[in-house]
Chain A
Amino acid sequence: MDFFPTKSQKRSMYDVVGVEDLFSDVPGRFICEKDLLGPPMSEIETRRHVEGILSKNVDVTSYKGGGAYDHYVPAHVQQIAARNEFYTSYTPYQPEISQGMLQALYEYQSLMSSIIEMPIVNASMYDWSTALGEAALMCNRANGGTEFIIPEFTSPERKAVLRSYSENVGITILEATHNPETGQIDVDGLSDIMTRQCGGVYIENPSYLGFFEESVDEISRLAHDNGSLFVVGVDPLSCGIVKGPGSYGADIVIGEASHLGNPINFGGPLLGLMAVNDDRKLVRTMPGRLIGLTEDLDGRPSYVMTLQTREQHIRREKATSNICTNESLCALSCAAYISSLGKRGFVDLAKALFSNASYAYDKIGALEGYKAPVHDSVHFREFAVRHPKSLDRVEHLLNEHAITGGIPVDGRTSIYCITDKHTKAGIDALVDVLGGL
């Protein structure tokens, strides 16, 4: 199959160019004469071939979350993101002809800003984990701090990525302990490890273990009194029922937003959230694209990429980040999804997950030998379960019923996640299977 214009024109174009060998500038020893791939496939062959491979997947009901959440995407949102004018465009370097994408990204920034109560949201990072890495770099740039504190219970994915982002530039990662009963961050312990070198204090709310951190005001004060920045990681959907981190003093907010309007896609692409306060110094250290509202020659409202002197195409090695291609289309879907829910729908969805997770942990916790939730705190939509037997045996049993359980924490504990795809009947079936362990 080919996707090219007619080959009959080739000859005439060669004649215009007047060169027969377009690769004569490549030394002969680097020219590869042999065919590297097999024969082309027609469209229908391609489809059969790829669908044949994908048919080896097996549908399972999954209770895994941890930063990637499998939510339903309404049909109209999927169709909006499939508009050719959007998805076949690129970074809006020429704003006059790219107003559609620019405005959609500005709406994403605005909607998210209102949800997390922060004035400035960028037009996307790759995912939560890289947003965390970039946040650590930002803190270092903003105040020179060489230490960055995170909760000891953070997603292993995020921890590993944070290490990758911070290790080459001399940032040390410290971990704050938690209260074993409630799971809440041990504020005194945090205070003890906070030195003058601390550039930023990072918490997640809800935590990786699913509950809300209740000492946010105290931690915020501690960080600020120390001259450190306060960084908060969120599932923005939780802000349908709890305060946005902007209201309790966050300087930088990061998180994951792909589940608001995008399929989970086996973990990629995701949609990294990154927001800062309206602090000029902080904004100038921020990575990623920012869309701003301005005017055109006729005074009409117009959108542009702005504050670009932070970015790699202008500042090169002095840029705040190397990010170029981001996750714009996911941000557009997110804006379309959130505006479809509306304020009431957004709150209702958050409430429904809050409610349905409680249904699940109440029922699992009532089973003989189980503890759910493990931590005595208020959980949003994820919660740890301690099983009476090893996770290997639990998972084996669940798999027999086309279910896969939570993300492992230790040999008997895993974190379950409830999304809007989980039904009451489905949770009942999960509980039945767990009860038979």
Chain B
Amino acid sequence: MYRQASGEWDLRRYSSEGKRGYVPIDGFGHPPELPMALRRDAMPEIPELSEIDVVRHYISLSQMNFGVDNGFYPLGSCTMKYNPKICELLAMNYSASSHHPLDPQWSVKGNIEIMGRLSELLAVISGMDYVTLQPAAGAQGEFLGAKMISAYHKDRGEARDEMIVPDTAHGTNPASAAMAGYRIVEVPSGVDGQIDTEALEACISDRTAGLMLTNPNTLGIFEAKIGEISELVHGAGGLLYYDGANLNALLGRVRPGDMGFDIVHFNLHKTFSTPHGGGGPGAGAIGVKSYLKGYLPSPMVASEGESYVFRHDLSPKIQKIRAYHGNFAIILRAYAYLVSLGYGIRDVSELSVLNANYLLHRLKEHFDVPFLASTPLRKHEFVISCERIRKDTGVTALDFARRLLDFGHHAPTVYFPLIVKEALMIEPTETESRSTLDSFVDAMIKVKEECYRDPDLVKNAPYSTSRRKIDVVKAVREPKLSWMMEGKG
């Protein structure tokens, strides 16, 4: 049985005056007096600790955390694959990581070349013409994409204020489009778990700016009518946006550009295996067809003979989406990952899809899998419904997910996509072996049995993690968001 460390640690506990865990440099100038109005009355409340205090504290905390390197992490739509260590090592390269983003180009030729080469590889993989690596994350790529769509229509003198988003879309899609000023029109899925093209047709009008689509969608189902969808959207003057969160399923085999998408975003931290960092940093990237080149932010990377340069002179319609060039440390890892795989990227998609379908096949006799009758195959992930279990036993999908933690597996994504009741969204990724998948299947079946035999056992789970079930309602009712707020009511 899995057992996680379970201490109670407080940075402040070992604090005593004069301790230092790191000694900063000395000053050697003669600074002026500070203006009276700005002088600080009291020093910030920072504990004083030795280096070993700090190291032990964070090692203790790390033992109360769970990553891909600890075990199976089938968090749907997040592509929690193994992060090869060579990529980590290369990202520590001192020369790459210690340059200021505005240092002269001759001093950062290597960094620019990495960016240029990765952009080219991503363009090839996606079937697009140009790529920018500037977005800090997938959602920022979506925001940039939505802005590009807006600027494109504006340049053509068209007032299109609606963005169509399927009901299975990631929450970031409507949120990003709304930030770009769009009204969101939600298109429902049909009985086959794919976009209902008749409903889509009804949504489309001369106000339609575009459609944001994830393919395969968040049910793990390939939108097979994509050709027709593309014609519908383009026929009405709209653009087609590809949410690349699920690109892992298609890597090296199916290209968004060939399916008619005008704009594509990539999540480098998903598809290209850079670590997720406990929530970030990740990196987005945007690929476009040639007619949208003028909307890519500055600077663009261009090849010039044998080398690559930043072009600051293209005066794009959207100048910048974040400061500087992008999350370079992530870009570097993704580049190393891609060149090491080479044409082996086809194995990524095959094995991620094989693993998902293997899991699905082993679980489907025990769990309800919506849309299975009409669409038997999944891509890299699939969604099961715990609705029947909830009705029979009162155990919810979240309870179920928490109980899985006791078996040393991270939980799947819960309650998403929204169209499936009591959803568990499972994405195994290509880096898991059959034996790991089998142990997950065993755990799933065991937990289901427990739901019927002893539902309270499941409802009160987990037991083996660093904390028992956590009171999230209290956290909202009595918000304590910092040490400063702890003392208050």
Inter-subunit contact B139/A325 (CB<8 Å): yes
Q: Which of A1, A107, A290, A359 contacts B29 (CB 8 A)?
A: A359
CB distance from A134 to the nearest CB of B (A): 9
CB of A54 within 8 A of CB of B482, answer no
Contacting residues, chain B, for A158 (C-beta < 8 A): 323
Q: Using an 8 Å CB-CB cutoff, how does the interface string of A40-65 with B read, 1 for contact, 0 for none?
A: 11110111011101111111101011
Q: A1-B340, A1-B341, A267-B100 are in contact. List 4 more A-B contacts (CB 8 A).
A: A50-B336, A322-B178, A326-B137, A326-B279
Among A19, A105, A130, the residue within 8 A (CB) of B377 is A19
19 residue pairs A–B, Cβ–Cβ below 8 Å: A5-B431, A36-B345, A56-B113, A59-B98, A60-B104, A62-B103, A70-B100, A76-B54, A85-B63, A89-B67, A168-B179, A265-B328, A267-B102, A268-B331, A302-B471, A317-B175, A330-B277, A341-B21, A344-B43
The residue on A at minimum CB distance from B108 is A57
**Closest 3 pairs between A and B when the two form their complex, measured CB to CB:** A267-B101, A355-B27, A359-B29
Bound Cα distance A433, B411 (Å) = 60
Docked Cα-Cα span, A357 to B59, in Å, equals 36
B373 contacts A by Cβ under 8 Å: no
Q: How far is B35's CA from A217's CA once the two chains are assembled, in angstroms?
A: 13
A41 pairs with B100, CB closer than 8 A: no
A79 to B88, CA, bound (A): 12
Residue interface mask B23-55, A partner, CB < 8 A = 1:
111111111111101111101111111010011
In the complex, B264 has a CB within 8 A of chain A: no
When distances are taken between beta carbons in the complex, the residues of chain A under 8 Å from B75 are 90, 93
Does the CB pair B88–A82 fall under 8 Å? yes
**With A168-B180, A338-B46, A355-B29 as given contacts, are A88 and B68 in contact (CB-CB < 8 Å)?**
yes
Assembly CA distance A35 to B254 (angstroms): 11
A77 to B401, CA, bound (A): 33
- Residue numbers in B under 8 Å from A4 (CB-CB): 347-348, 351, 430-431
Stretch at the interface among A114-122, A142-150, A192-200: A114-122
Q: Which residues of B contact A437 (CB under 8 A)?
A: none
Q: Give every chain B residue within 8 A of A50 (Cβ-Cβ).
A: 90, 114, 332, 335-336, 339
Distance in angstroms between the alpha carbons of A60 and B100 in the assembled complex: 10
Between B326, B331, B475, the greatest number of chain A beta carbons within 10 A of the residue's beta carbon is seen for: B475
CB contacts under 8 Å to A, within B1-41, are 4, 8-9, 11, 15, 18-35, 37-41
Given contacts A94-B411, A99-B61, contact A54 B114 (CB under 8 A): yes
Q: How far is the CA of A319 from the CA of B184 in the complex (A)?
A: 13
Which residues of chain B are near A216, meaning CB under 8 Å? 37-38
Please indicate the chain B residues that have their CB under 8 angstroms from the CB of A330 in the complex.
277, 280-281
The answer to the question of B446 belonging to the interface, with a C-beta cut-off of 8 Å to chain A, is: no
B44-97 contacts to A, CB under 8 A, are: 44-49, 51, 54-55, 57-70, 73, 75, 78, 80-84, 86, 88-90, 92-93, 95-97
Which residues of chain A from 237 to 268 have any CB-CB distance to chain B below 8 Å in the complex? 239-244, 247, 263-268
8 Å CB contact of A266 from B101, B117, B259, B342: B101
With CB as the reference atom, state the residue of chain A lying closest to B91: A265
Q: Which of B196-204, B286-294, B313-321, B389-397 contacts A (4 or more CB under 8 A)?
A: B313-321
Q: In whole angstroms, what is the CA distance A136 to B335 when docked? A: 35
A83 to B67: give the CA distance in the assembly, Å: 10
Q: How far is the CB of B289 from chain A (nearest CB, A)?
A: 16
Q: When each residue 291-325 of chain B gets 1 if its CB lies under 8 Å from chain A and 0 otherwise, what string results?
A: 00000010000000001000000000011111111
Instruction: Determine whether A401 belongs to the interface, using a CB cutoff of 8 Å to chain B.
Output: no
Q: With an 8 A cutoff between CB atoms, is A301 at the interface?
A: yes
Q: Tell yes or no: A394 within 8 A of B by CB.
A: no
A298 at the interface (CB under 8 A from B): yes
Assembly CA distance A189 to B202 (angstroms): 53
Q: Which of A26, A295, A338, A354 contacts B474 (CB 8 A)?
A: A295
Among candidates A64, A155, A265, A313, residue contacting B103 with C-beta atoms closer than 8 Å: A64
Q: Is the beta-carbon distance between B278 and A345 smaller than 8 angstroms? A: no
Q: Does B388 contact A (CB under 8 A)?
A: no
Chain B residues with Cβ below 8 Å from A57 are 95-96, 99, 107-111
Among listed B142-150, B232-240, B448-456, interface-contacting one: B142-150
**B58 contacts A336, C-beta separation under 8 Å:** yes
Choice from A16, A29, A101 contacting B279 with Cβ under 8 Å? A101
Smallest CB gap from A341: residue in B = B22
A165 proximity list for chain B (CB < 8 A): 179
- Asked, given contacts A3-B273, A25-B375, A325-B138, whether A43 binds B86 with beta carbons under 8 Å apart, the answer is yes
Q: Are B37 and A60 in contact, with the CB atoms below 8 A?
A: no
Asked if B285 is at the interface of the complex by the 8 Å CB criterion, the answer is no
Q: Type the 1/0 row for A106-126, where 1 means its CB is closer than 8 Å to any CB of B.
A: 110111011100011101101
The answer for the CA separation of A163 and B33 in the assembled complex, in Å, is 37
In angstroms, Cα B470 to Cα A57, docked, is 49
Which residues 405-460 of B have a CB within 8 angstroms of A? 405, 410-411, 413-414, 416, 430-434, 460
Q: Which of A46, A66, A107, A298 contacts B86 (CB 8 A)?
A: A46
Partner of A83, one of B59, B104, B353: B59
Least distance between A37 CB and chain B CB atoms (Å)? 5
Task: Determine whether the beta carbon of B66 is less than 8 Å from that of A2.
Answer: no
A151 vs chain B, min Cβ distance (A): 17
- Point out the residues of chain B lying under 8 angstroms from A155, CB to CB: 323
Residue of chain A at shortest CB distance from B269: A325
Are B22 and A340 in contact, CB atoms less than 8 angstroms apart? Answer: yes
Contact for A265 among B73, B97, B138, CB less than 8 A = B97
State whether B104 touches A164 (Cβ < 8 A).
no
Q: Determine if A161 is an interface residue (Cβ-Cβ < 8 Å).
A: yes
With A82-B88, A358-B32 known to touch, is A126 a contact of B140 (CB < 8 Å)?
Answer: yes
Contacts of B100 in A (CB 8 A): 62, 64-65, 68, 70, 264, 266-267, 404
Taking a contact as CB atoms under 8 Å apart, the answer to whether B99 and A114 are in contact is no
Closest to B89 in A: A47
Task: Flag whether A388 is at the interface (Cβ < 8 A).
Answer: no
Inter-chain contacts of A58 with B (CB < 8 A): 106-107, 109
Is B460's CB under 8 angstroms from A290's CB? no
In the bound complex, how far is the Cα of B40 from the Cα of A233, in angstroms?
17
Contacts of A436 in B (CB 8 A): none
Minimum C-beta distance from A403 to chain B (A): 10
Question: A422 to nearest B CB, angstroms?
Answer: 9
> Shortest CB–CB separation between residue A324 and chain B, in angstroms?
5
Closest to B102 in A: A64
Residue of B with least CB distance to A268: B327
Bits for B465-489, please: 1 = Cβ < 8 Å to A, else 0. 1111111101110111111111000
Given contacts A322-B179, A352-B27, contact A96 B109 (CB under 8 A): no
Partner of A304, one of B110, B259, B276, B472: B472
* Chain B residues within 8 Å of A369, by CB: none
A264 to B481 alpha-carbon distance, docked (Å):
28
Partner of A317, one of B57, B83, B174: B174
Interface check B367, CB cutoff 8 A: no
- In the complex, the answer to whether A127 meets B136 with C-beta atoms within 8 Å is yes
A282 located at the interface, meaning its Cβ lies under 8 Å from any Cβ of chain B in the complex? no
Which residue of the partner chain B has the closest CB to A87? B275
- What residues of B have a CB within 8 angstroms of the CB of A390 in the complex? none
Residue pair B482, A109 in contact (C-beta under 8 Å): yes
Q: Are B136 and A269 in contact (CB under 8 A)?
A: yes
Q: A109 touching B481 by the CB < 8 A rule? A: yes
Q: How far is the CA of A116 from the CA of B63 in the complex (A)?
A: 30
Cβ–Cβ contact A164 & B30, under 8 A: no
Contact with B along A18-40 (1 / 0, CB 8 A): 11001111110111100111111
